[in-house]
Structure 1
Amino acid sequence: MTTTTARLHKVNDTWELLVDEKPFLILGGELHNSSMSSSRYMSQVWQTLADSGINTVLGAVSWEDIESREGEFQFTELDVIIEGAKTHGLRLIILWFGSFKNGKSSYVPAWVKTDPQRFPRMYIRDADGRLANSGVLSIFHDKCYKADARAFTRLLQHLRDNDKYRTVIMVQVENEVGLRFDSRCRSAVAEKAFKSPVPSELFKFIVTKRQNLHPDFNYYPGDYLETLGKGGRNWEEVFGQSIWTDELFMAYHYARYVEYVASSGRKEYDIPLFTNAWLARPGEAGAAAGGGTPGEYPSGGPVSTALDIWQRFAPGLSFLSPDIYTAPYSETCETYSHNGQPLFIPEQRRDAVGARQVWISIGTYKAIGTSPFGIDTLKPMVNHFVEAYKLLKSVSSLIIHARREGQQIVGFAFENPPLPGQVDATPEFTIGFKDYQVTIDRAFVFGKKAAGYGMIIELEPTKFLLVGKGFKAEWKSRSSTLPYTDIISFLEKSVDVETQELRTERVLNGDESNGGTRANMPNDDPDYGDAIVPVLIPARTGIAVVQVFSLPNEEV
């Protein structure tokens, strides 16, 4: 490890995180909320984390832990934790639990919690329409964001001066911000702001950038642009009376609040900063994910309807990240690549489904990294990320090279086949490469098909790198004059740890390619069904290089 601060770097159209000035693919795991409050607890899990294949740990540092008494800062536990990560060869991403965590202010110090006159709270309408204290720090009072910013700045100053080996590579600012149980704050100061003219910087931004706004932004009346141009109108006069107007109002003020905190810290230590989003998911409201309308999910957070507002009014953040639990995975990756920002997934499912989905974000969407939540209580024998991350780690240099060279990459995940009468949520699909259409599906078996995952990289127009298990690929020339396609070679590969070069393990043919018609990348235990001849082989390295050719019809 060196003393170079991690930074984001763009090569062509692809973002990279440079750690020690080298491209670094984050194979992360997020701890439970309270894990990093104790270095003694962490000493018991470091080795298990290191053995699981992750290279980066995400963990919380809370305001109440570092400033339990106003103006007195304590970083002893954090320093021991940073040393523990370094000793085990792991990097850290710190999650700042300051004013907001999952739409609440549960991690602010006691001296803030117990002084509502100095640190006012936001108010909501309860089920009976009465005003109720939300318990959440007000985004409309400067004493709140200034106190948060002071603590955050001291944290970043401490990292700058004491994290000598730059073990910490990024910092998340707050966690899943937004107001829950109402679409906007109803306090007197918030009502005054809501009834005041829409800030000129906001309507100028919308008018100027309206052609490039995310499609989900368009929840407002068709004539709002005309109304905007007149100026001097309040939020409802411009955008109409709706929960979407409320959300826009809250997003603008939340973004400015978080920006104040982030930019204050970044002035002291220029490390990549980001914040994350609790995603909307109609019909699937839960304790920490989903909800169809603002207030069911935290209103004002960086969801798709407000993504542009956050990108414009929180420029101190390097990017905005989705926490993907119930939302459509590919669609969400597409959304959070909006305006070409880096894609990073700090929270997602930690089960087998989540372990398969990372191949989509890292493959197709060129994510700088992924991270399942609750990694420290996941038993090694049921941790599906062990296999996924170890395979990704082995080919990470190849992925980075392909991105830099502009080689086409497609990542995918297949879930277990549906029951009769059910719709297949992950059916076979065909992707177009330069000279070939490639159809990708679950691996061929004689018995019951199973889940699978992987990615395909086009090395050359006729040469492809296949990584993963439980899928098959079939090629067809895109030229109508070349109707016959076959496989020239199908080589099982592994990666030399020292040189990072591919080396051939076996030359596959015959049964493994069905006579040259497909490349089958089997699972560890393929189902033979009732087949008498065991022509299927189990997975081994999960890496192969396939070269194909096509021919015209001959005159006969």
Structure 2
Amino acid sequence: MMQKSDFFYNRKGEPVFLTGLQCHNSSVGTELIDSTIQAIHLYGGNLLEAPVYWCEVEAEEDCYDFSMVKTLVDKAKAAGLYLIPLWFGASKNGLFTYAPDYIKRNVGVYKRARNSAGIPVESLSPHCRATLDRDKKVFSKVMEFLAGYDREGTVIAVQIENEIGLAHTDRDYSKEAEAEYRQPVAKYLWDVKLKDSGVGEESTGTIDPPTWKGLFGRHANEAFSAWKHACYIQEMVEAGLEKYGIPYIMNVSIEINEYEEPGLCYISGGPVARVLDIWKKTAPGIKLFGPDIYLPAERDYRKACEAYARPDNPLFIPESLIGGIGAALNMMIAVADYAAIGICCFGAESGIADGKLLPEAEQTAISMRAIASLAPLLIRYRGTGRIHAVTQAEFSGWQYVKTEDYHVTARFLSNDPKPQHYFGSRINTNDPKNASCLTDRGRCLLVDCGDGEFYVAGAGVCLTFLRRPEVWDDTPYAHLASALSGQLNFLSVEEGHFEGNTWIREYRRNGDEANYQLYVHPGQVVRVRLNPDIKWEE
């Protein structure tokens, strides 16, 4: 069942399903943030993700400027959006490019990580106390400002750092790091087992107390790096919580990239799935770790969702592709099959031009609008098995969904051999401006509310419903063949929208618009109430 921690919550204590966009890295403080907000509205989102730059907040040591933060909150509030500020501090994609000049230039104090050859890399060392103290201090100041300024609850969470980790090395080999690596592993990590480490299930290391190599085998260096970064972040969280009691989250540069070796295929030391248990134990102040998923292939996308959708880590996707049919299909899968609590796309400004969606962004926007339109139901039925994703795989003409009481067959309009596209909607599919309704790659979310009530939103799909035989039925074939078992025996078919948790009917389908397949076109939420009271016997 849903736990209190499974969603983001507004100031009223109400769960919020987040859909939105993230701006490009350098847009805050420029006119581009207005384009981002415009794009969010076109995508039907309710969330702005935008960075806060350490180098701007504290350009000079102990001199603070929160004007950019204030403007960001003001713009999100004026647009009716929630805001997740992204702290671009000591680590942005493993690099220190957003650190202020006094950090970058004083390399003797704010030390770089070093690779195994002793050469400095482009990442600040998580073992450097001076860096952590400065990062923590300015972050605490920003949280203090937000706590005092954001009285209405525009900020719904805060992301600490951005894709933290080390670039071009699997761990830090500096003198400070080497000294810590030779120390015994903290006892609370002794029961952590890393998959494919080469270490037996019963092993607690080669010596007593255990070593990193003895506990984690071939993944020892990454495990050590993950632990130290997690220690760093837990101190950041604690400093933030002293000033601002809000959920703190992190995004992840995921490991699903070719041969999946740290420092080569992805940033090492971040909270990737392999070492997520280490992060969970060491940085318990982080509400969730959200994977950034830029994978259009369903196989890879599912692998990422499976890795991060855990009972102790509800799936929130902070970054994903802004456009493309892969993104349009996959976000449906994340919501239905992995109980996602929010999805965002990166690079909002790249999805629009002259105030309109670009063609490459349109399909992703259609899917996000469909998800947002069902948000009250996605919250209510999360994790119950009542939310189903229909997505048109390559070469596919249909998809079958089995619910407790109904067989549901989804047919994809682009492959429908017997189209009846004029019927089933108030959209005139003969109008050239609606031509895409018949060619859109099919996908939808189907929500089964029980007792024959369903809601559906998406594009390029038509559905048929057939009542499943009862256990006691002696003549199931005859009953399945009867029109009374199908959707012709409906109570009502409606198009509409939700205002809060209340369904508002806009249009009632009947006759030709309801007697055939249930058509789903972009921008529509369709509610069908089938008659559950079929009496075969007198």
Q: TM-score range by the shorter chain?
A: 0.7 to 0.9
Distance 1:57 1:504, change over 3 A: closer
Structure 1: distance between partners of 2:150 and 2:64: 16
Q: CA deviation at 1:48?
A: 4.9
Deviation (angstroms), 1:231: 2.5
In the alignment, what sits opposite 1:167? Answer: 154
The aligned counterpart of 2:426 is none
3-state DSSP of counterpart to 1:65? helix
One-letter amino acid of the counterpart of residue 374, structure 1: G
- Partner residue of 1:381? 357
Matched, 1:277 2:246: no
Matches within 5 A, 1:476-487: 477=468, 479=470, 481=473, 482-483=476-477, 484=480, 485-487=485-487
Partner Cα distance (1:510, 1:542) in 2: 18
Q: Tell me, in whole angstroms, the C-alpha distance in 1 between the residues paired with 2:498 and 2:317.
A: 29
The C-alpha deviation readout for 1:108-156, integer Å capped at 9, x for no partner, is 111011112111111114xxxx432102111112212121111111110
**Residue 344 of structure 1 pairs with residue 342 of structure 2:** no
Q: Which residue of 2 aligns with 1:358?
A: 331
Aligned to 1:7: none
What is the one-letter code of the residue matched to 1:312?
K
Given that 1:521 and 1:542 are in contact with CA atoms closer than 8 Å, whether structure 2 keeps it comes out as no
* Distance change (3 Å), C-alpha of 1:486 and 1:218: same
Aligned positions of 1:208-219 closer than 5 A: 217-219=194-196
Aligned to 1:541: 524
Q: Deviations over 1:144-183 (max 9, x none)?
A: 2121111111110010011222221111001111222222
Corresponding residue for residue 176 of structure 2 = 189
Q: Distance in 2 between matches of 1:478 and 1:11?
A: 31
Query: Which ranges of structure 1 fall in alignment gaps of 5 or more residues?
Result: 1-9, 211-216, 284-290, 419-423, 524-538
Matched, 1:331 2:308: no
> 1: CA distance between counterparts of 2:47 and 2:165?
27
Aligned ranges for residues 408-419 of structure 1 at < 5 Å? Answer: 408-415=386-393, 417-418=394-395
Alignment match, 1:312: 281
**2:209 corresponds to which letter in structure 1?**
G
Alignment of 1:99-114 (within 5 A): 99-114=90-105
- 1:503 — aligned with what? 505
Residue 434 of structure 2 aligns with which residue? none
Mark the CA change 1:78 to 1:239 in structure 2 (over 3 Å): closer, same or farther.
closer
Higher mean displacement: 544-553 or 179-188: 544-553
1:469 to 451, 459, 478: 459
2:260 to 279, 292, 302: 292
2:271 equivalent in structure 1: 302
Check the 8 A contact 1:131/1:186 in 2, yes or no. yes
Q: Is the 8 A contact 1:123 1:187 kept in 2?
A: yes
Per-residue CA distance 1:488-522 (angstroms, 9 max, x = gap) = 227142126488324262435668665xxxx4435
Q: Which residue matches 1:236?
A: 213
Find the residue that maps to 1:253 and give its secondary structure. Answer: helix
Residue equivalent to 1:535:
none
Q: Distance in 2 between matches of 1:540 and 1:44?
A: 22
Corresponding position: 1:75 with 2:66: yes
Question: Secondary structure at 2:120's aligned position in 1?
Answer: strand
The reply on whether 1:445 has 2:380 as its aligned counterpart is no
- Within the alignment, does 1:200 sit opposite 2:201 as a pair? no
Q: Which amino acid aligns with 2:519?
A: M
Aligned to 1:148, which of 135, 143, 158?
A: 135
SS state at 1:391 partner: helix
Structure 1 residue 372 and structure 2 residue 338: aligned? no
Q: Which moved more, 1:467-476 or 1:40-49?
A: 40-49
Displacement of 1:302 in angstroms is: 1.2
Q: Pairwise CA RMSD of aligned residues?
A: 3.0
Q: Give aligned-pair identity as a percent.
A: 25
For the residue of structure 2 that corresponds to 1:310, the secondary structure is helix
Q: What is the one-letter code of the residue matched to 1:276?
A: N
Rounded Cα–Cα distance in structure 2 between residues aligned with 1:43 and 1:469 = 29
CA distance, structure 2, for counterparts of residue 474 and residue 78 of structure 1: 51
In 1, the alpha carbon distance for the partners of 2:42 and 2:458 equals 20
Length-normalised TM-score, structure 2: 0.83
Distance 2:170 2:498 in 1: 54
Q: Secondary structure at the match of 1:118?
A: coil
Q: Paired residue for 2:119, among 132, 151, 163?
A: 132
- Please say if 1:89 is aligned against 2:62: no
Q: Secondary structure at the match of 2:139?
A: helix
Give the 3 Å change call, closer, same or farther, for CA 540–179 of structure 1 in structure 2. Answer: closer
Q: Is the Cα–Cα contact under 8 Å of residues 57 and 90 in structure 1 kept in the other structure?
A: yes
Between the aligned partners of 1:356 and 1:377, the Cα distance in structure 2 is: 20
Which residue in the other structure is 1:65 paired with?
A: 56
Kindly tell me: are residues 340 and 478 of structure 1, through their superposed partners in 2, closer, same or farther at Cα, counting changes over 3 Å? farther
| Alpha-carbon distance in 2 for matches of 1:219, 1:46 | 44
- CA gap 1:51/1:124 in 2 versus in 1, 3 angstroms: same
- Report the CA distance between 1:453 and its aligned residue: 1.7
Is the alpha carbon distance of 1:455 and 1:220 closer, same or farther for their aligned partners in structure 2, counting shifts above 3 Å? same
User: Who is 2:228 aligned against?
Assistant: 253
| Corresponding position: 1:435 with 2:430 | no
Aligned counterpart, 1:394: 373
Residue correspondences, number: 493
Equivalent residue number for residue 17 of structure 2: 25
Q: Post-superposition shift, 1:227?
A: 3.3
* CA shift in 2, pair 1:460/1:522, >3 Å: closer
**8 Å contact kept, 2:40–2:47:** no
CA contact under 8 A between 1:407 and 1:459: conserved in structure 2?
A: no
Q: Distance in 2 between matches of 1:478 and 1:253?
A: 58
Matched, 1:456 2:458: no
Alpha-carbon distance in 1 for matches of 2:211, 2:385: 49
2:386 corresponds to which letter in structure 1? Q
CA contact (8 A) 2:136 2:236 kept: yes
On the 8 A contact 2:81/2:154 being kept in 1, the answer is yes
Structure 1 pair 397–498 and aligned structure 2 pair: CA distance change class (3 A): closer
Separation of aligned partners in 2, 1:305 and 1:12:
25
Tell me if the contact between 1:437 and 1:478 (Cα under 8 Å) persists in the aligned partners.
Answer: no
Distance 2:47 2:273 in 1: 27
Contact preservation (8 Å) 2:440, 2:459: no
Question: In structure 2, the residue corresponding to 1:27 is in which secondary structure?
Answer: strand
> Are the equivalent residues in 1 in contact too, given 2:445–2:457 (CA < 8 A)?
yes
Is the Cα–Cα contact under 8 Å of residues 122 and 136 in structure 1 kept in the other structure?
yes
CA contact (8 A) 2:320 2:344 kept: yes
* Distance (whole Å) between structure 2 residues aligned to residue 454 and residue 132 of structure 1: 51
CA distance in 1, matches of 2:144, 2:128: 25
Provide the rounded CA distance (Å) in 2 between the counterparts of 1:152 and 1:412: 43
Alpha-carbon distance in structure 1 between the residues aligned to 2:43 and 2:529: 30
Give unmatched runs, 5+ long, in structure 2: 420-437
Partner of 1:34: 26
Say which SS state the counterpart of residue 174 (structure 1) adopts.
strand
Aligned residue for 1:339, secondary structure, equals coil
Q: Distance in 1 between matches of 2:44 and 2:509?
A: 28
The AA in structure 2 aligned to 1:42 is I
